[in-house]
Amino acid sequence: MPLASPFHIIAHRGASGYAPENTMASFRRAVDLGATEVETDVAFTRDGELLLFHDETLERTTNGSGLPEDHTLAQLLELDAGSWHDPRLNWDRGYAGEKLITLGQLFAEFGDTLTYHVELKKPMAGLVEAVVACIAEFGLAEQVYLFSIVDEAGLKRAKQLEPLLRIAWAPEELLRTDPTEAVRRCARNNFSMITLNAANQSREIVDLAHSLGLEARSSGISSREKMVAAAELGCNGMTINWPDWLIGYVREQG
């Protein structure tokens, strides 16, 4: 069957299958592979800077410890974000010494050449306003999907602050307990996209999203088999650590 339209090939935290996630190296690697969309995660540092970082704490992917928001940006930039190792990933070279970066640095590097999927990692006072302001500073409102798992209210506020933003929602708990209501509520909120997971998506839910004018993208893609399954369900693309896999698949589909 033909691919859904639009169809998003989104490099998850950059090309994080080949370079350390949420670092400039990972985003540059994604672009080198041909990706035009990237996903990242944003939260505050102690001094109110917009750090790109996924985890609750620093231990897994840096030589630091504790909560990122308990450290200043200057302290965080001293950390090594490229020496950790995950045997499921096949980095293409050594990245010892790679640094963390900010949302502004990402935007300054790539500007309007990319579409950005920016996740609000957790509700934090002033975070929505700061992210929207950063997007506005670089003139990228039409290049950004802003999304969250838990901060539905923050997403609504972001849409009010900047109507040009496209809003995606990943209500993981509601998708587990009442997926139909999750999709319908996403549409009622005037969001643009429901973010599903390889573990809970279905043709029925994807079709419902499309019938309500929503895009339905997939996440949690950890294998080529899951990648193909999501595409065949009619998902509007997906986040993936290996964007070249999906680029190749799309090319094969003509």
Q: How many other β-carbons are positioned within 10 Å of the β-carbon of residue 150?
A: 15
Question: 6: cis peptide before it, omega within 30°?
Answer: yes
Residue 234 DSSP one-character state: T
CA 11 to chain centre: 8
* Catalytic machinery residues: 12, 54
Q: Alpha-carbon dihedral of residues 196, 146, 38, 108, nearest 10 degrees? A: -170
Specify the long-range contacts of residues 121-124, CB closer than 8 Å, at least 24 apart: 121/41, 121/42, 121/43, 121/53, 121/54, 122/43, 122/150, 122/151, 123/150, 123/151, 123/153, 123/154, 124/43, 124/44, 124/69
Q: What six digits make up the tokens of 227? A: 């990648």
Q: What three-state secondary structure class fits 214? A: coil
- Three-class DSSP category at 175: helix
